[in-house]
Chains A and B, each alone.
Chain A
Amino acid sequence: MAYRLIVVLKINSSLKYQIMKKLFQIVLIIMTVTLWSCQDELDIQTTSNGAKDMSALKVSPDFDWSTSKTVEITITGLPTLENVEAVKSTLSIKGQDKLFYSGFHAINENLTLVLVVPSNETNIQLKFGSIEKEATIENNKVSFTFIPTITDEN
């Protein structure tokens, strides 16, 4: 039986070439997939020197070693109408169950606050009288406006 197979392979050398080509292609695909699956791990390793202790640790010169971040909060006031005195009320800025700022604020004033908040805070809440708003911290900035989004009352 084996003899017959060898004979067939010898007779059909182009078929042998085709088999070798297929095998090579399969090996190439397996290697590509294997290397691709390792890529994430390689990426992670390049962001970390994998230090085991403080003596081997190297960090970015911009890392501030604090568990906080500085957030700039911008509040756009509501222009008041002719003959109307701007209402003043208590403006509160909160994070997750934490109060960061309280002040007396006129609704028509623009305000920029710089607050240092815990780094795990993702959202900032604003309260001004009955006005309550919440916004996500993006690039260490949060914006609020007292100018409402237009709606038709029905």
Chain B
Amino acid sequence: MWNKSILVIASLMIFSFSTQATVNLNCESGNRSIEQGNCWNFAGIAYSNVEFRISGFWSLRSNQLTSLANAASWSKTPWIKPGTGNITLKTRLENDGGTIRTITFSYITYDATQNNVIKEGESTVFYTYNFPKPFDIWIKDLSIPLPSAIANANQAYKIVITCVGSGGTSRIFLDDIVIPGEYWSDPSNNCLPLAIIIDTDKDGVQDADDAYPNDAARAYNNYYPSDKVFGTLAFEDTWPGKGDYDMNDVVVDYKMNRVTNAENNIVEVVANFVVRASGANHKNAFGFQLNGISPDAIGVVKGNKSGFSDGLFKYKSNGLEDNQEFANCIVFDNFFSFMKPPGGGTIGVNVDKAGKFVPYVEMTVTLPFAKKISINELTTDKFNFYIVSDIASGKRGREIHLADGVPTSLVNQELFGTYDDRSTGSHYYRTINNLPWAINVLQGFEYPIEKVSIEKGYNHFIKWAESSGEQYKNWFENGQGFRNPENIYSR
């Protein structure tokens, strides 16, 4: 019984000894930058793979030792929390010449009051090793006790190993450095000691960075086009026939937010829309497809306006459109159901300056994710916006996307290649001259008034398009000579 107990205790002791943390340097990365990125520092000492290296392919090799100053040639550990025991390392001289060849070991305290980013305090030499004379080139194993002043201290220290000497040209090699202690540096924070972070929801993301510090399921907002602006989508609704290019048959601003958790998986897409105008005679719907995302990956959609199309759109139980290969959210299924034309002899909504302004309608549509999908699987180019034109016809298939926007499963394929459309299978929604039926202005856009083609409002639009977007990238801005205000709608 006693023997068994002793065995268990011995095993535990061996286990605890063998699992003591160490900070190691064996140089085998062959690239000092990697160790430096991990908060080691070096001066006057390089990685070398010359024949005098000690083990493996690489060792530390000091400069020629012509100074007894401690600043000449050294390597410095990251901040560590020292353990107990001995620092071990291997060393050798490059040749047997010289007068003095010495390695000193010192520790540096952490001092938060220092007015610099590295916060190093006092340095204390705790061991000096003099190479025995006469010098030789044989490898020596050193074992240096950690000083009691820092052993097992619950504070951060750095250990500095310095090579000094005089006379001759030989250098000192170092390798297989093992220091008892726990790595305690933060390479992402100027290599300062690891700080205790405040993380209320315990998701791993510190509160200062967490957009949802009290919600472990959410951590970040990822906006498209960006956190600062709404983009504008402007559609012509006459496809497959060419329209009048006033680009105002449906005008919607958007800001898409992919809310992610600490694993960078999407928790939900929160889509903010500002519905602004429709200069259309048709009743149109607006929606978007998440290209490549299965409808089953989405929970119950909230915030969209559906049920105003006489049953034209069929929905799944989660609110996405039914019979689609990918997730399709119909944001609104009838523009004029919630933005009524003001009448009075004017056309449409907010496209005629003489007409009464109809307040813009803000919508927030939320698509919770029911399956684990990384943010890199739903990149922003996979938001595929479109309108469904002329829903009063009782047909779902007249779907109009941005140029080259992939149509959904429910498009009427028979319309491709008819009238002015020259979709080819890889290029969609383009005329023979490659003109589109919709544009997407990430920076936001003031649309033209009714029946005035866009180039009449924006003087550099044609040059932008002809140059494939190289010239006048800011054609939509209000720079001098950029716009003809009389042709652009304003409230």
B435:A95 contact, CB within 8 angstroms: no
Which of chain A's residues have a CB closer than 8 A to the CB of B223?
Answer: 99-100
B303 on the A face (CB < 8 A)? no
User: B463 is contacted by which of A48, A83, A84, A117 (Cβ under 8 Å)?
Assistant: A48
B227 on the A face (CB < 8 A)? yes
Interface residues of A in 56-73 (CB under 8 A from B): 57-68, 70
**Distance in angstroms between the alpha carbons of A148 and B34 in the assembled complex:** 7
Interface locus among A7-15, A25-33, A108-116 = A108-116
**Distance in angstroms between the alpha carbons of A62 and B206 in the assembled complex:** 44
User: Looking at chain A's contact residues, is the secondary structure mostly helix, strand, loop, or mixed?
Assistant: loop
Q: Interface residue count for A (Cβ, 8 Å)?
A: 66
B187:A107 contact, CB within 8 angstroms: yes
A97 on the B face (CB < 8 A)? yes
**CB closest chain-B residue, reference A69:** B469
B440:A68 contact, CB within 8 angstroms: yes
Which of the four size classes fits the interface of chain B? 35 or more
Which of chain A's residues have a CB closer than 8 A to the CB of B222?
Answer: 100-103
B455 on the A face (CB < 8 A)? yes
Interface locus among B146-154, B260-268, B293-301, B347-355 = B260-268
User: Looking at chain B's contact residues, is the secondary structure mostly helix, strand, loop, or mixed?
Assistant: loop
Which of chain B's residues have a CB closer than 8 A to the CB of A59?
Answer: 433-435, 465-466, 468
Which of chain B's residues have a CB closer than 8 A to the CB of A81?
Answer: 23-25, 35, 38, 183
B453 on the A face (CB < 8 A)? yes
**Known contacts being A59-B433, A60-B434, A114-B381, is A149 close to B33, with CB within 8 Å?**
yes
B277 on the A face (CB < 8 A)? no
- A92 CB → nearest B CB, Å: 8
A97:B228 contact, CB within 8 angstroms: yes
**Distance in angstroms between the alpha carbons of A70 and B442 in the assembled complex:** 12
Most buried by B among A61, A79, A119: A61
The 4 closest A-B pairs by CB, nearest first: A129-B188, A98-B226, A90-B209, A102-B220
A to B CB contacts below 8 Å, 26 in the list: A47-B467, A48-B463, A50-B466, A51-B462, A53-B462, A57-B455, A57-B465, A57-B466, A61-B430, A63-B469, A65-B436, A65-B440, A67-B442, A70-B381, A78-B37, A79-B29, A81-B183, A82-B26, A83-B183, A84-B183, A89-B188, A100-B222, A103-B264, A104-B204, A107-B188, A129-B189
List chain A positions with a Cβ less than 8 A from chain B.
47-54, 57-68, 70, 78-85, 87-90, 95, 97-105, 107, 112-120, 128-131, 146-154
